[in-house]
Structure 1
Amino acid sequence: MWYIKLEMKRLKQVLGQTSFKSVLILWVVLVLAIATLFLSAVFSYKNSKVLAQKALEDQAMMIAITLQGVMTYTNLEEMNYNAFLNIILSQNWENLEFIMLYDEDGDIILHSNPELIGYRLAPEEINFIKNCKLPYYRFYLDQEDEALNQKIFIADFNFYTQKYNLYLRVGLNIATFSFIIKRAQFLFSLKMLACLGLLIAGFIGTKFLIGYERMQLKMKELESISTMAKILSHEIRNPLGSIKGFSQYLREKIPDPSFSRYLEIIFREALRIERLTDELILYVNPVKVEPKNFNLKELIEEVWFSFKDKYPQVELKFFTQGENFEVVTDPDKIKEIVVNLIQNALDAVLETNQEKKEVKIEVEDYGESLRVRVVDNGPGMDEDTLKKAFDPFFTTKPKGSGLGLAIVEKLCEAMKIKINLQTQKGEGTSIWLEIPRFLS
C-alpha cells in the first residue's frame, strides 16, 4: 500500500504543476520583438520626415547660393522680368514653384510670376521675417489650392547686392517630399501590421501552449491514475472477491434477519467498490472500438426496459422519431454511454421532492447520423457545476465516483460522437448525443 500513497502524492504534484514558463518565455520574446519593430517603425518614419525636409532645405539653400552668385553684381534697376526668368530657366532647378525678391518694406521687386511684381507683403509677415533668424523654412498651404490641401515648401534668405539688402523667397513643390513620406507611412503601416500579426500569433501560440501543457499534464495524470488503477485492481479485487463470497455464505448460514441486514450492507458496499474499480480501469485504459451493424433503437429500448422495472417511482418514457435506426459503431460502448446517462438522470430526479419524477429518452433518425437525447426534470446544475461536469472525480453525489460523465466523454471522443449538455438550475438537464451512422 506504500506504493499507492507514493502515487497519490505524485498525482497531487502533477495536478499542481500548471506551469506557464513556456507561455511566459513566448510573451517575453514577442514583447521584445513587437517593441523593437514598433520603435524601428517610429524612428524610421520620423527619420524619413527629417531627411525629406532636409533635402528640401538643401535644395532651397542651393538655389539661394546660386542666385546670389549670379546676381551679386547685377544692377537690379536695369533688370526686367525676362532677364530674371532667363536666369531661373538657365539653372533648370527641379521642384521650383516660384522665386521672388522683396525689399525691407515687403515690396516684391522681382517674381517668377510677373503679375505679382509690385505687390507688397503683409506688414506682420515682413516684420516677422525681419525679426527671425534666416534662413527660415516652413510648409505653407497655398491659398489658391486650399481646397486641394496643396502645400508648398517656402524658404526665406538674406539676399545682398551692391546697393541693397534684400530678401529672397524660394517656393518648392513637395511632390518628392510627399512621395518619401507616403512611402514611410506605407512602411510604418506594414510594420504595425507585423506587430499586430505577432500579437495575434502570440494569442494563438498561448492557446496552443496552454492546450499542449494541459494535455501533457492530463497524460501524466492518467499515467499516475493508470498505475494506481493497476495496483488497486490487483490489491482490491482479490480481497473483494473474498468479502463478497463470505458475506453471501454467512447470509445463507445465519438465519438471523438482524444479522443478515448487516451482511447485506457489506455485500452492497463490496459491489460498489468493485464498480468503482471497474470504472477507474475503464477510464484510464485506451478505448478499443469494435464497430458492428446493429439497431440503435432496439439497443436503447432494451436499456430503457431494464431501468423501468428498477425505478417504478420514476416515469421513464421512451420515444422514437424516424424509421431507419441501423448504425455501424460499437454497441457495447454505446450501451455503456446510455446506461451512464440514464443512471445520472434517474439519480438527479430522485434527489428532488417533487411528485412527478420524469426521465425521457428520445431516439431520432437524423439522416447521416442518429440523435439520442436524455432529459430529466431534476434539480439541474449551476454554472460552476456545469463547467466541471465532465471532469474526472468531480461529483455532487454522496457516494458517486465522479467518473460517469468523464467515461462518457472519453467513449464519445473515441467513437466520434458529438455530445452536448444543457441545464438550468431548478429546471432539469438535457443531454444529447449525435452518433455517426457509419464509424470508419
Structure 2
Amino acid sequence: MFKKAILLLGITVTCCLLWFAVYDYREAGPIARENLRGLALSLTTAIEKLAANDPSLETLHSFHPTDVAFFALVDGRGVYRFHSNRDLVGTAVEAPSQMIPLLTRSETRIVLGTGERAYQFSSPVTVRGEPLALVLTLHTYRADAVIRRARLNMTIVLALVVAGWLLSVGLARYARREERHQEELARRETLAKLGEMGAVLAHEIRNPLAGIKGFAQVIAARPQESRNASFAHSIVTEAVRLESLVNDLLAYAANEPEAVADFALANLFDHTVSLLKPDAGTHGVGISWRCPGDLLVRGNRDRIEQALLNLGHNAVQAMPDGGELQFLAERSGKDAVISIRDNGSGIAEEHRQLVFEPFFTTKSRGTGLGLALCRKIVEANRGRITLQSREGEGTVVTLTLPCAR
C-alpha cells in the first residue's frame, strides 16, 4: 500500500511538472507579443509627440532607442515624410503591397535584408493636423529571449523528470535487491538458529533420556526393591524437565495470538505473585507489588502473565540466599511502565547485551529461551523491554506496554 501511494505521488508530481513546463512554454509566445506591442505603443506615443513639437522632423533623427531597427512616417500618397535612413525621405514606398493604410493599426513579422526576423508595427498618427502612418520596426531580441527561456525551462524540467524517474527506478531496484539480501540474511540466521536449537535439543534431551533409561532399566530388573520409588520420582522429574523444554520451544516458535483485550494490571500482579510465592518461599525470597487499581493495559493477558512469570522465576533463581522481589507499575502518558526489581547476584557486563538472544544462557541446565520469549511476547503486544543490572547488586527489568484506550 505504501509503495502504491509513493508511485501515485510520483506520477502526480510528474504530471504537474510537465503541465507547468508546457503551459509556461505555450504562454511565452503571447507574452512576447504583448511585450512587443506594449513597447511599440509606447514608442508610437513618444514619436508622435516629438513630431508634433518639431514640424521639421529633424528631432526624430536623434531618436535611436536600442530596440528600434528603423521607423518611418508615410503620407497618404505613399511617400516617406520621414525615415531613419535620410536617403529615403521623399521617396515613394517601393511596392504597392507595402502601402500603409492611414486609419488602421496592424502588426506583422518581417525579414530584414540582413536575414533577421523583426516585428513591424503600423499605426495612424497625426502631425500638425495631417494624418500619417507610422511604420515602426523593432528588434525581437528580448521578446525572443522570453521564448528561448521558456523552451530552456521546459527542456530542463523534462530532463529532471526523466532523471528523477531513472533514479527512482534505480533506487527501487537497489531497495528490492537489498530487501532480498536482508531476506537471505534472515533465512540464513534462521537456519543458524535452527542448527543451534538442534544442538541445544540434542544436549538437553540426551541427558534426561539417559537418566530415564537407566532408572527404567533398574526398575525393570528389580521391580520389588524399595528404592524404586525414588527412581520413579527421578523419572517423573526428568520427564517434567523435558516437557518444560518442549513447551519453551513451542512457545518461542509459535506466532503471537491476536486475542487482545483491556485488563486490570493490579489483578494480573496479584495472580502472578500468588503463583510465584511457593517457589520464592523455598528460596527465602519475599515478594511485594504495587500498582494503581485503575491502571488498565491493552494486550494479550495470558501471554503477558507468562512473561511476568518467566521474569519472576529468573529473579528468584538469581537470589539463592534470599532477597526481595518487587513488581511495580505506574502510568506514563499513554503507556504503563512495569518494573521487576531484585537484589540478587546481577548480570556480568559482558553478558548484558546477549541476555535477550535465544539460546544464550549461563546456567548449566537452561535453554536460554526465557528472556528471549519475554521480549517476543512484549514486542508482540506493541511494547518494549529493557534491562539494567549491576553485578552483585541486582537487576531491574522494565516493560512498557500500551494502556487501554
Could you say which TM-score interval applies, normalised by the shorter chain? 0.3 to 0.5
TM-score computed with the length of structure 2 as normaliser: 0.47
**In terms of Rg, which structure is larger?**
2
TM-score computed with the length of structure 1 as normaliser: 0.43
